[in-house]
Amino acid sequence: MKLWQKDNSSVSALIERFTVGRDKEFDILLAPYDVQGSIAHVTMLGEVGLMSPEEAQRAVSGLREIAAEIAAGTFSIEPDVEDVHSQVELMLTKRIGDTGKMIHSGRSRNDQVAVDIKLFLRAAILDVKNRVSSLFRLLQSTSEAHKDDLLPGYTHLQIGMPSSFGLWLGAYAESLVDDLEILAAAYQVANKNPLGSGAGYGSSFPLNRTRTTELLGFAALNYNSVYAQMTRGKTEKAVAMGLGSIASTLGRLAMDCCLYMNQNFAFISFPDELTTGSSIMPHKKNPDVFELIRAKCNRIQSVPNELTLMLANLPSGYHRDLQLTKEILFPALEEIKACMELMELMLSNIVVRKGILAEEKYKYLFSVEEVNKLVNLGIPFREAYKQVGQRIADGSFAFDGSQPLHHTHEGSIGRLNTAEIAGLMENVLAKFS
């Protein structure tokens, strides 16, 4: 029997399989949040008189027992039960009798799943935020440890100007700051309460939506009941955009590492146990971890577009299309966390090669240094550029790469501004409170 069935008529098994799809698989992830939302709703029902205080207390106690089973890993959705909402209500009714049948007053599965998803995404965002913060700190500490180790800088994949491992890794640390700005905006979208909007048009019951907002710790309400339903899909898309931004940073860093591990670069290396080999080439140390991070992060960056295409032609109100947002977004959340975990592991074991720029092939990296040296002697920049260019053309250019570089402006080799970037990150992290 489904919550929406009015008699004992059955639905075609084929129709049921198609409409349920993978929903139960992802509903298990929503189970603790479904109970959390129900506890808040029942508490409010008891306060506004739609349940007696005794009935509300009995229901809350039963729901807490179910929450404990979910936490212990013993909760499951029975084969003939449609979804997590039905399973929780069924279990509660078996335990406390008809009082369990009262908990759906003033509520639809539409706002029930909407609040479940918002609670789930809010917690998932905070988890991702903590992992980004951890990777950020590692990038900064590794950047500082190697700030004096020089590295070729490239434009168009051609040798450009001197860089450093500190400057390289610090760039990705600061990139994560902006990524979290986008995720923080998604957090604000997720941190609003749709519960009490019913099927999208409110209720004639005297519900206290402000009270459930307080009980669930949301920052605010989605006030308009129609818009509360319209946040389905929109919230998921906002979160996906935050994940996509993080994935872009991770994927680009992974690509750099693939290049820098290549024997023709040989800038960095990793212990044997963190790389893989070849079945026929015994010398190989393959960057499989970075290649998979790159591939997974490219896939994660496609998630906002996939959600956009799903939502593009939907009118207002609830539509079953929205069920599929879970199977698009939820796996992406797990993948971005796995990518950050592996990136941390790899960077914690990075080995940096010293003295790279002393090699003859990198001498033209210092052409700009020579131009600037002439400018400091009073020669106009365009004339200095021409002189150095001529020396390069006729083969007379020489520059001692062992000489110290004097880059002192903010964000340069000699002034990474690590502390200032850490301050920017702290400001962003505060937006998740």
Q: What CATH number is given to the structural domain containing 101?
A: 1.10.275.10
| Residue 295 and residue 336 in one domain | yes
How much is the pLDDT for 4? Answer: 45
44 & 186 share domain: no
pLDDT of residue 284: 85
Phi, psi torsion values for 193, nearest 5 degrees: -95, 120
Which residue matches tokens 């975990």?
341
Whole-Å CA distances, 420 to 149, 277, 290, 416, 423: 21, 41, 29, 9, 5
Question: Residue 234: which of 273, 279, 192 has the closest Cα?
Answer: 192
Instruction: Tell which of 70, 105, 140 closes a domain.
Output: 105
Is 53 found in the same domain as 33?
A: yes
Q: Quick one: pLDDT at residue 192?
A: 98
Q: Specify whether 316 is located in the same domain as 388.
A: no
Same domain, 268 and 151: yes
The residue ranges of the chain whose pLDDT is under 70 are 1-11, 19-21, 400-403
End-of-domain residue from the set 56, 71, 105: 105
How many angstroms separate the CA atoms of 276 and 253, rounded? Answer: 19
pLDDT digits (tens, 9 = 90+) for 283-298: 888 999 999 999 999 9
Residue range of the domain that includes 22: 13-105
In terms of phi and psi (left: phi > 0; alpha: psi -120 to 50; beta: otherwise), the region of 164 is beta
Residue 7 belongs to some domain of the structure: no
Q: What CATH number does the domain containing 427 carry?
A: 1.20.200.10
What is the count of structural domains for the chain? 3
**pLDDT tens digits, 274-284:** 988 878 888 88
294, 389: one domain? no
**Residues 418, 424, 426, 428, CA torsion sign:** negative
Do 135 and 157 belong together in one domain? yes
Is 155 contained in some domain? yes
Phi and psi at 239, nearest 5°, equal: -65, -40
pLDDT of residue 433: 81
In this prediction, residue 113 carries a pLDDT of: 95
Q: Are residues 172 and 98 in the same domain?
A: no
Predicted local distance difference test score (pLDDT) of residue 399: 77
Considering the domain architecture, whether residues 231 and 247 belong to the same structural domain is answered as yes
**Contact (CB, 8 A) for 362 and 266:** no
Which residue stretches of 146-224 are H helix?
Answer: 165-190, 209-215
Q: Is residue 197 part of a domain?
A: yes
DSSP letter assigned to residue 413: T
In the listed set 79, 105, 131, which residue is the last one of a domain according to the structure? 105
- The answer to the question of residue 279 being in a domain is yes
Say yes or no: 307 and 387 in one domain.
no
Same-domain pairing of 306 and 373 = no
Domain presence at residue 341: yes
Output DSSP code: residue 405: P
If asked whether residues 73 and 150 sit together in one domain, one would say no
